[in-house]
Homo-oligomer: A and B are copies of this chain.
Amino acid sequence: MKPLKIIKIGGNIIDDTSRLLSFLKDFSAISGAKILIHGGGKIASELGSKMGITANMHEGRRITDEATLDLVTMVYAGLINKNVVAKLQAQNCNAMGFSGADGNLITATRRPAKEVDYGLVGDVAISGVNTKVISGLLNLELIPVFSPITHDGKGQLYNTNADTIASVLAMALSEMFEVELIYCFDKKGVLEDVNNDDTLIKEINTRNYNSLKESGAIADGMLPKLETAFQALNHHVKAVRIMQAEEVANSNAGTLIVK
């Protein structure tokens, strides 16, 4: 099987123009098949307040009403996605930008309302990924760039978590590619001491994972990320890597997570 790198960047990079440009240059230099997934960024909230749409948050998560969905569709799938694509094109990287609605690439189901109704938020699953069309695009030597907007196939767009899109794409495409899933962060990777870049853990696997948890080296926000990583590995993703965005061109940087 051909190798495929699936790389996710978040708002921390999107919001910093010089960091973003530098990242896109490095991303362009990566050889072989690759897919970029980008998150949102502060610009949606800034534009929203200009337009009189106030961010409605619950425990750090945005509640997506219709006005907010329009806003994130404009900003994520329009402004950010097309500018990222244009900047990649300037680096001779034949990027093509998508929402999940385009080509029916990613269908989602509305997140069920429990204690909180998150509104027009889509949950994605492996079965919702259109591997046939995505592999067709990769065969045309195109570089897909996904914004975190999906659809239900019945005309409704959804706001969707970009980390989850990345992992679901990675799992689904593992049936045809040897996939490495890369999450770009501000830190060098998973650190034993979160304030000390010299304490990078080079590899996490099923053998040392539990002891790292017990020692407290892995805790808090990193735990769900690693659970997601192991879930991807259990669905035939070959490797997951957590690394600093600035090191994306270095295929050995960061923390490698393997079975």
A interface residues, Cβ below 8 angstroms from B: 47, 50-52, 70, 73-79, 81-83, 85-87, 89-90, 94-99, 101-104, 133, 136-137, 140, 142, 149, 151, 153-157
In the assembled complex, how far is the CB of residue A144 from the closest CB belonging to chain B, in whole angstroms? 10
Cross-chain contact of A50 among B50, B89, B94 (Cβ < 8 A): B50
A96/B90 contact (C-beta < 8 A), A78-B74, A82-B77, A133-B142 known: no
Cross-chain contact of A95 among B73, B97, B102 (Cβ < 8 A): B102
In the assembled complex, how far is the CB of residue A133 from the closest CB belonging to chain B, in whole angstroms? 6
Q: Are B97 and A104 in contact (CB under 8 A)?
A: no
Q: Are A86 and B156 in contact (CB under 8 A)?
A: yes
In the assembled complex, how far is the CB of residue A70 from the closest CB belonging to chain B, in whole angstroms? 6
In the assembled complex, how far is the CB of residue A8 from the closest CB belonging to chain B, in whole angstroms? 20
Give the number of times this chain occurs in the complex, counting copies.
Answer: 2
Q: Can you list 5 A-B contacts (CB < 8 A)?
A: A73-B78, A78-B81, A90-B155, A95-B102, A95-B103
| Cα(A52)–Cα(B50), bound, Å | 8
Question: A140 to chain B: which residues have CB within 8 Å?
Answer: 103, 133, 136-137, 140
Question: A133 to chain B: which residues have CB within 8 Å?
Answer: 94, 140, 142
| Cα(A174)–Cα(B90), bound, Å | 28
Q: Are B99 and A85 in contact (CB under 8 A)?
A: yes
Question: A95 to chain B: which residues have CB within 8 Å?
Answer: 101-103
In the assembled complex, how far is the CB of residue A38 from the closest CB belonging to chain B, in whole angstroms? 13
11 new A-B contacts, CB < 8 A, other than A50-B51, A133-B142, A136-B140, are A50-B52, A51-B51, A74-B74, A74-B78, A77-B77, A78-B78, A82-B102, A82-B157, A86-B156, A89-B151, A90-B155
Cross-chain contact of A101 among B50, B89, B157 (Cβ < 8 A): B89
Q: Are A86 and B103 in contact (CB under 8 A)?
A: no
Question: A96 to chain B: which residues have CB within 8 Å?
Answer: 98, 102-103
| Cα(A98)–Cα(B153), bound, Å | 18
- Ranked nearest first, the 5 interchain pairs of A and B with the lowest CB-CB distance are A78-B78, A90-B155, A74-B74, A74-B78, A96-B103
